[in-house]
C-alpha cells in the first residue's frame, strides 16, 4: 500500500500525519505558538484521517492487537488530556474563549501513536469538537 503523508495548515500551525508501520506518526508545527489551533472543520479532518489510518493498521493481518485494559491518558489542569507517548507527551484541550481545540506535543516533534491511543484521541477530539 502506498504511504501517504497528510499535511495541511490549520487555524494556527501545521499538522502532518502518516502511517509508520503499525503506528501513526503525528507531527505538530505550532509556528512559535504554545499550541496548534484546530477549528471544527480542522478537527473533523484530523478525526477522518486518524480513523482511516487506524482502520488500515487494525485490519492488517500481521498487526498484533494489544488489548485495551484501561484509559491511556490523564486529565490535568484546564481539562487538558495528556498522553504519554515514548519520552514525549501529546496534550489536547478545548479553549472556550477562542472556540478552538488546542493541541501540542512536548518532547519529540514526531509522535508514534499506537492504535489504542489513536482511538482515545479520536474520541476526545469528537467530544471536544461537539463543544465548538
Residue-range domain boundaries for the chain: 5-129
Q: For residue 2, what pLDDT band results from cuts at 50, 70 and 90?
A: low
Query: SS3 of 63, please?
Result: coil
- Render pLDDT for 74-87 as a digit per residue (tens, 0 to 9): 999 878 999 999 99
Sheet holding 23-29, edge to edge: 5-9, 14-20, 23-29, 110-113
Query: SS3 of 14, please?
Result: strand
pLDDT at residue 101, as a whole number:
97
pLDDT at residue 11, as a whole number:
86
- Render pLDDT for 18-70 as a digit per residue (tens, 0 to 9): 999 999 999 998 877 789 999 999 999 999 999 999 999 999 999 999 999 99
Distance CA 75, CA 98 (A): 21
- Dihedral of the alpha carbons of 102, 77, 84, 94, in degrees to the nearest 10: -20
pLDDT at residue 109, as a whole number:
79
pLDDT at residue 10, as a whole number:
79
**pLDDT at 8 exceeding the cut of 70:** no
**pLDDT at 1 exceeding the cut of 60:** no
pTM of the full structure:
0.92
Beta-carbon contacts of 60 under 8 Å, excluding residues fewer than 6 positions away, are 22
Amino acid at each position: 500500500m502506498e504511504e501517504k503523508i497528510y499535511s495541511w495548515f490549520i487555524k494556527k500551525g501545521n499538522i502532518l500525519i502518516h502511517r509508520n508501520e503499525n503506528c501513526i506518526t503525528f507531527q505538530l508545527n505550532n509556528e512559535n505558538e504554545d499550541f496548534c489551533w484546530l477549528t471544527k472543520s480542522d478537527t473533523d479532518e484530523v478525526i477522518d484521517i486518524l480513523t482511516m489510518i487506524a482502520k488500515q493498521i487494525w485490519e492488517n493481518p500481521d498487526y498484533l492487537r494489544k488489548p485495551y485494559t484501561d484509559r491511556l491518558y490523564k486529565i490535568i489542569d484546564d481539562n487538558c488530556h495528556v498522553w504519554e507517548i515514548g519520552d514525549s507527551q501529546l496534550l489536547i484541550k478545548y479553549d472556550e474563549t477562542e472556540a478552538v481545540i488546542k493541541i501540542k506535543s512536548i518532547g519529540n516533534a514526531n509522535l508514534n501513536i499506537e492504535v489504542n491511543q489513536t482511538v482515545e484521541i479520536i474520541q476526545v477530539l469528537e467530544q471536544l469538537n461537539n463543544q465548538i
